[in-house]
Amino acid sequence: MRLRFWGTRGSIPVALTTADVRDRLAQALVAASGRTFATYEEAHAFASSELPFPITHTFGGHSPCVELDIGSDEYFVFDMGSGARPFGVHVLARQARRPAVVNVFMSHVHWDHIMGFPFFGPAYVPGTTIRIHGCHDVLEHAFRLQQSPPCFPVEFDQLAARIEFVRLEPDRPSTVSGVTVTPHLQLHSGDSYGYRVEHGGRSAIYSTDSEHKLENRAEAEGFARFFRDADVVIFDAMYALADAISVKADWGHSSNIVGVELCQMARAKHLVLFHHEPANDDATLEGLLKEARRFEELTRTDHALQVSAAYDGLEIDL
């Protein structure tokens, strides 16, 4: 199966500014000084292979939306942040006018996780089926509320798709169109739920908006069980560890270092830092990634953990 990241930023979407673009151009020109490129392709190859990641990429971007592609006709997606808009464009292009079936799994209903839904193109296509799964009583209310006057011009009932809300039970595995999905309660204002998904012998965890108190042994062991042997763990790493345990304790989010510790306990294979803090620029996020990789190396025993930072456009095959 393949994970496709359409939105990776937490709290509110961000975009590169003019100053950011100019800064990158200047850095690229310095890096290329003395070089000549006969064609656009040569210059493109240089940019792709020789320039550092923070010059050639941006961590983005859109608020949370992660697709799980199992190669079936149906779609599976976690959260409907603003990344749901480009995800919807992808669905419409692939469907080529055939109505889609989209299975949505919601971590919770904070605005950054639902704000893309009114811009999700397939919701406007007759014949489309959208099943929104989650554990919250307020799931349907929240989706309707954000499309109520005076906040949005198209009301929820005007959407052309057939939209169903499906209640899931925490820690109880459900099979949804061939995928096994298990939600797990997380510490976050108003509660959030992580998901463990299993298909074809592979497993992935989507765990965002989740604060961890590792000094609480039972809590840590509960998450280690939930993450156990996962091929990929998408993890709320909004803060640096120092912030997470001091000024931003109890803000409902976690850190890069806690992600490494939990994944090591669980013997997970690949940690993906996610829900990036909107105030952090690309160089800062690259720094947090390097810090997590260094910590993993220093604390590694017999089990190596791959560590990545999610960005809009990242795809991971597992």
Nearer to Zn ion, 110 or 248 (CB): 110
Cα gap 11→97, rounded to integer Å = 33
SS3 percent helix, strand, coil of the chain, rounded to 5, is 35, 25, 40
Span near Zn ion by CB under 5 A; candidates 86-94, 103-111, 130-138, 195-203: 103-111
In whole angstroms, how close is the CB of 303 to Zn ion at the nearest point?
Answer: 30
In whole angstroms, how close is the CB of 174 to Zn ion at the nearest point?
Answer: 23
- 86 phi and psi angles, rounded to 5 deg: -65, -30
Structure tokens at 167: 């209640």
- 103 phi and psi angles, rounded to 5 deg: -100, 115
Nearer to Zn ion, 159 or 252 (CB): 252
Residues binding Zn ion: what is the number (CB under 5 A)?
4
Q: Mind giving me the DSSP string for 220-231?
A: HHHHHHHHTT-S
- Whether omega before 150 lies within 30 degrees of 0, making that bond cis, reads yes
> Among 112, 231, 277, 296, which residue sits at the site for Zn ion (rule: CB under 5 A)?
112
In whole angstroms, how close is the CB of 309 to Zn ion at the nearest point?
Answer: 16
In whole angstroms, how close is the CB of 301 to Zn ion at the nearest point?
Answer: 32
**Contact flag: residue 248 with Zn ion (CB under 5 A):** no
**Angle at CA 314, nearest 5°, toward 123 and 96?**
35
In whole angstroms, how close is the CB of 238 to Zn ion at the nearest point?
Answer: 8
Cα separations in angstroms, 307 against 21, 257, 272? 27, 11, 6
8-27 positions binding Zn ion, by CB under 5 A: 10
Cα gap 11→275, rounded to integer Å = 8
In whole angstroms, how close is the CB of 112 to Zn ion at the nearest point?
Answer: 4
Nearer to Zn ion, 110 or 293 (CB): 110
Cα gap 244→213, rounded to integer Å = 10
| Unique residue bearing structure tokens 């989740």 | 210
Q: In the complex, which residue's CB is closest to Zn ion?
A: 110
In whole angstroms, how close is the CB of 205 to Zn ion at the nearest point?
Answer: 16
- Whether omega before 61 lies within 30 degrees of 0, making that bond cis, reads yes
> Among 4, 9, 24, 110, which residue sits at the site for Zn ion (rule: CB under 5 A)?
110
209-228 positions binding Zn ion, by CB under 5 A: 209
Nearer to Zn ion, 161 or 194 (CB): 194
Span near Zn ion by CB under 5 A; candidates 5-13, 26-34, 37-45, 237-245: 5-13
Q: Is 243 left (phi over 0), alpha (psi -120 to 50) or beta?
A: alpha
Per-residue interface string for the shown chain with Zn ion, residues 171-210, x marking contact by CB under 5 A: --------------------------------------x-
Interacting residues with Zn ion (CB under 5 A): 10, 110, 112, 209
